[in-house]
Amino acid sequence: MKLLRTFFYKPLTSTLTVTSTNGFHLRPAAKFATEAKQFTCDIHIEFSDKRINAKAVNAILSLNLDTDDTFTLIAHGKDAKKALSLLNQTFAILMNAEHAPKQVEKLNASYQSPTQPGEIISEGIAVGKLHHFVLKEVQHASLSSFKQAVENSVVELDKLYNNSKKNADAHIYLAQKALLLSLAEEVDTLEGFNSRIEAEKEILRGGRHATKIADLNDLLYRIKKQMGYDYQVSLPKTPFILTADDLLPSQIKVLEHSTVLGVALANSSLASHTAILLRAAGIPSLLLDKPLKHEEDKVILDAYSGLIVLKPSPEDLIQAFKRQNEDDKLHSEIHQNRFNPAITQKGEKINIFANVSDLDSAKEAKEEGAEGIGLLRSEFLFKEHKPIIRDQIRAYRAIFDLFEDVTVRTLDVGGDKALPYIDIPKEQNPFLGIRGIRLLKTDPKLLEEQLEAILIAADNRPVKVMFPMISTPEEFKEAKDFALNIAREKDIPIDNVRFGMMIEVPSVLFALQEFNTLVDFYSIGTNDLAQYLFAIERTHPTLKIDPHSPILFNVIERIVKEATKPVSICGELAGDTRVIPQLLKTGVQTLSVSSKRIGQIKDKVRNV
């Protein structure tokens, strides 16, 4: 029937040229294929003597499209014209959004011993014994079917993405998920999946996207782990420098919990997902021009100068240890002082709170020196399944027990955040649609149960409840009355509960005087506020917001000046050490940041 339907339509074509310096690699290919899948028409790409399905990520990768390669996009079917138009736009956006990884400028260094050069993946310096990476595979009893293993791996990648949304590496997990789903189509067994992976690797080997072989290996690794395979990595318990041909992206998490001092890779790239994750983990790393073959008693990995120093002399070691000690001293001072208050040079106390997303991150925040929780993202309870009230109460209580000052934001979904069990209609502009407190219009029962759980868990503690995406005083009154009615109906005491709001929508700026009579506190979400101020979607692949725009600081200063209730900042801007002096000039006295940034932000404040 499909052949009969498409027979009546003339194929439409367009010619596209790869302009990205990274070529048409996994991440843009995944986005392109995802867009193509929404159309019913057949969509193909012709390049050289090959014709592939443009809805399959692995097929696009198999073309090894490099910079300046030109290909033909063909759409054939009822919605072909619309598909071609959108995909042409999508491709242009993806190409403009792609940039070559910035090459770190190397510092000059002079060593007496032989050196081996490399490109800097992640800066730092390490001195230690080389350890060659070895991975052993052990098969146990099968834990799940192949189909279930795929489903579990998709859930795992979704979780990694959701936990990394604010990090540069988040997009890796979405791309890997798209690739996995593409490869698993019409495959029913691990053997079949393995064969498909090997075929795809053979196509990529020696081509522009050969570094993506690591992603293919990583997906096979994930599936096999789900099916009962165990992977044993033998790493020293004493500090070491790891050398490897390449690493799988998922293995970086293993390294983060080891005694690794640095990493030297011989067959990767600065743009590989492994390299991105090494940078995110802050592990000093180099990409060498050739493998390190022999074990060494001790080497210097200088990821400031881009060198491995072999058999370093005493003078070489002294030089390396001096730089290392400078780094360690700075980090140690910051860490040791993390529990001390952040007081400016003028004697002004600035509160440094944490943004947390579950119990583990709340515990981490406590250990990192947070003075409270300025933003508890409650979405962690709602991801896969709708939580029952009892489980919500237990989770909130565990977090409330850790701090005397906790602000919990009610469920904030919509925009780029979805839940599988609520039906938000497909919107043309989801960031301007059903989001945050607007769930009261579509899913009031969900918020009713959440508020009941929060109020019960508060148990006469000073807890703050914060409503997201408030745009008018009427919205805030409706949300607060909704919460108060729950407390009355359920006979829950709430004398110590305060109600406030996120400032994310520009309309709030024109009603602050009225809001001052209604709210107990404000928290500025700089990410969304900037998005709506400049009318640029914060996930847009091409258009970018200047996070340091004077306009944004002027708006923050105006809010702090006109507000008669406490104001904090919980957006990414609060964790940017470069702008702390500017933020403090606005008069804000409470910053809520990610746990890893608490010590650094406190240190910066003390020097203002």
Same domain, 140 and 253: no
For residues 70 and 142, which has the higher predicted lDDT (pLDDT)? 70
Same domain, 462 and 496: yes
**Is 243 domain-assigned?**
yes
- For residue 250, give the CATH number of its domain: 3.50.30.10
404 is in which domain, residue-wise? 336-606
Helices (H), 257-313: 273-281
Same domain, 590 and 501: yes
Same domain, 562 and 527: yes
Same domain, 344 and 435: yes
DSSP result, 31-45: HHHHHHTT-SSEEEE
Quote the pLDDT of residue 329. 83
Quote the pLDDT of residue 4. 47
**Is 103 domain-assigned?**
no
**Is 328 domain-assigned?**
no
Quote the pLDDT of residue 520. 97
106-154 pLDDT per residue, tens: 888 889 999 999 999 988 999 999 988 887 777 766 667 888 988 888 8
> Does the pLDDT of residue 36 top 70, yes or no?
yes
451: confidence class by pLDDT, cuts 50, 70, 90 = very high
> Does the pLDDT of residue 491 top 90, yes or no?
yes
Q: Determine the residue type at 128.
A: G
509-554 pLDDT per residue, tens: 999 999 999 999 999 998 889 888 988 876 565 567 787 889 999 9
- Whole-structure pTM over 0.75, yes or no? no
For residues 157 and 272, which has the higher predicted lDDT (pLDDT)? 157
Same domain, 86 and 188: no
Residues 97, 471: Cα–Cα separation, whole Å:
31
1: confidence class by pLDDT, cuts 50, 70, 90 = very low
CB 273 within 8 A of CB 294: no
Matching residue, tokens 């009225």: 514
> Does the pLDDT of residue 307 top 50, yes or no?
yes
Same domain, 59 and 157: no
**Is 109 domain-assigned?**
no
- For residue 36, give the CATH number of its domain: 3.30.1340.10
Q: Rounded mean pLDDT of the chain? A: 86
Same domain, 158 and 123: no
340-360 pLDDT per residue, tens: 999 999 999 999 999 998 899
**Is 318 domain-assigned?**
no
Q: Tell which of 232, 261, 284 closes a domain.
A: 232
Integer CA distances (angstroms), 579 to 167, 331, 598, in order = 19, 20, 15
229-265 pLDDT per residue, tens: 777 677 888 999 999 888 877 788 888 889 999 999 9
- For residue 585, give the CATH number of its domain: 3.20.20.60
507-517 pLDDT per residue, tens: 999 999 999 99
How many domains are contained in the chain?
4
Residues 483, 84: Cα–Cα separation, whole Å:
49
**Is 286 domain-assigned?**
yes
* Maximum CA extent, the chain: 79
Same domain, 60 and 199: no
Quote the pLDDT of residue 540. 60
DSSP result, 485-547: HHHHHHT---TT-EEEEEE-SGGGGGSHHHHTTT-S-EEE-HHHHHHHHHT--TT-SS----T
Q: Tell which of 216, 232, 248 closes a domain.
A: 232
Same domain, 123 and 143: no
Same domain, 206 and 65: no
> Does the pLDDT of residue 31 top 90, yes or no?
no
Q: Tell which of 257, 280, 313 closes a domain.
A: 313
97: confidence class by pLDDT, cuts 50, 70, 90 = low
Reading the block at residue 287, the tokens are 């990409």
Q: What are phi and psi of 261, to 5 degrees?
A: -105, -30
Residues 137, 139: Cα–Cα separation, whole Å:
7
CB 43 within 8 A of CB 55: yes
Same domain, 593 and 459: yes
The rounded percent of the chain whose pLDDT value lies above 90 is: 44
Q: Which residues are catalytic?
A: 273, 570
> Does the pLDDT of residue 301 top 70, yes or no?
yes
**Is 329 domain-assigned?**
no
Quote the pLDDT of residue 49. 85
For residues 595-605, average pLDDT? 91
DSSP state of 283: -
Residues 254, 217: Cα–Cα separation, whole Å:
16
**Is 399 domain-assigned?**
yes
